Amino acid sequence: MQTRRLGRTGPEVSAIGLGAMGMSDMYGPADRAESLATIDAAVEAGVTLIDTGDFYGMGHNEMLIGEALRRHDRDKLVLSVKFGAQRGPDGMWIGYDTRPSAVKTALAYTLKRLDVDHIDIYRPARLDPNVPIEDTVGAIADMVQAGYVRHIGLSEVGSETIRRAAAVHPIVDLQIEYSLISRGIEDGILGTLRELGIGVTAYGVLARGLIGGHMTAPGGGRDIRGFSPRFQGEALTTNLALTEALRSAAAGMGLTPAQAAIAWVAAQGDDIVPLVGARRRDRLAEALGAMERPLSADALAALERAVPKGAAVGDRYPTAMMGTLDSERG
């Protein structure tokens, strides 16, 4: 497994990370035994970066990972945790809380659920409009000083917020959606990160399965894709046509659409680590195959011709959620 460093001051991690959200939440039912087996397979394959959030399944995801950790050397792994998103008993989103006291309380619960004595990268899930980012980062910095956190990250914030946060404490990475069909980071944020020496952990590299080559329509129930503009009506039809164009281009490279999409993100810079949301071993194996050989400049250009920047129809989140993304303000 190749490795990459997260920013100038961050840890060295596997060149691809495992995003565990889908094992507990957001994409409909998951198989617990298969989820645990997938975490095991990822670690055994050399994946060291595991990403979660305390609101994924309202603690379920952390407990699941904590169970898997008992079979592995925790000190060889890098645990990345998001906090601050608030949900009600019905699972609906009700806001954010990143006050200093909330930071420390959330961290205490996370340490208990994961059954570890520290978190490698701790980050607010979104910018809390009621709390200055300096206060939130300052509280995490207190936890770094106390030994409960090793590094500080950010998630879905724009350039101004990144600069303000970095003035308080070194930031190792920004977690943000980045894929062939979600390239907003290129319009300013990526330049800011590189100026400041901050890495990227890219989620949504398959656009929630849209360009992974295995999907025809979103599931029902608690599958968040059922509420996403990109998965609705004519937008879905148009976007799945992009997937077929990607499939054709990828086939000429000996890759599946998912592998091509992951490899494209990984090729955008050594400071970028794709997170794959595999919740089955076969999907994990497919994703890992994306890292077996680098794409040539011609191959990258072919993928971008197949899926041109801005070609996707529909926002990446529902309108109300788009309004909460500081990253959308540049």
Helix orientation angle between 189-196 and 159-166, rounded to the nearest 10 degrees: 20
Residue 103 has pLDDT above 80, yes or no: yes
Q: Residues with Cβ < 8 Å from 119, sequence gap 6 or more?
A: 79, 80, 81, 107, 110, 111, 148, 149, 150
Question: Across residues 167-182, what is the average pLDDT?
Answer: 96
pLDDT for position 214: 78
The more confidently predicted of residues 230 and 186 is 186
The band of 263, judged by pLDDT with boundaries at 50, 70 and 90, is: very high
Residue 305 DSSP one-character state: H
The more confidently predicted of residues 311 and 268 is 268
The more confidently predicted of residues 92 and 107 is 107
Residue 32 has pLDDT above 80, yes or no: yes
Q: Is the dihedral of CA 290, 114, 118, 177 positive or negative?
A: positive
Residue 116 has pLDDT above 90, yes or no: yes
Dist CA 152 CA 274 (whole Å): 18
pLDDT for position 223: 67
Mean pLDDT of the chain: 92
Dist CA 87 CA 92 (whole Å): 5
Q: Residues with Cβ < 8 Å from 161, sequence gap 6 or more?
A: 127, 133, 154, 326
Dist CA 81 CA 102 (whole Å): 15
pLDDT for position 327: 83
Q: What percent of the chain has pLDDT over 90?
A: 77
Question: DSSP 3-state assignment of 2?
Answer: coil
The more confidently predicted of residues 322 and 77 is 77
The set of catalytic residues is: 56
Residue 35 has pLDDT above 90, yes or no: yes
pLDDT, tens digit, 9 for 90 and up, residues 298-328: 999 999 999 999 888 777 776 777 777 888 8
Helix orientation angle between 159-166 and 133-146, rounded to the nearest 10 degrees: 40
pLDDT for position 98: 97
pLDDT, tens digit, 9 for 90 and up, residues 149-160: 999 999 999 999
Dist CA 146 CA 277 (whole Å): 32
Residue 23 DSSP one-character state: G
pLDDT for position 222: 64
pLDDT for position 218: 58
pLDDT for position 219: 55
The band of 78, judged by pLDDT with boundaries at 50, 70 and 90, is: very high
Tell me the whole-structure pTM to 2 decimals. 0.92
pLDDT for position 256: 95
Query: What Cα–Cα distance (Å) separates residue 140 from each residue in 103, 147, 148, 153?
Result: 7, 11, 9, 10
Question: Across residues 119-140, what is the average pLDDT?
Answer: 97
The H-assigned helical ranges of the chain are 32-44, 60-69, 100-114, 133-146, 159-166, 189-196, 233-251, 257-266, 281-288, 297-306, 319-322
Q: What percent of the chain has pLDDT over 70?
A: 95
Residue 146 has pLDDT above 80, yes or no: yes
pLDDT, tens digit, 9 for 90 and up, residues 188-210: 999 999 999 999 999 999 988 78
pLDDT, tens digit, 9 for 90 and up, residues 207-226: 887 888 776 565 555 666 66
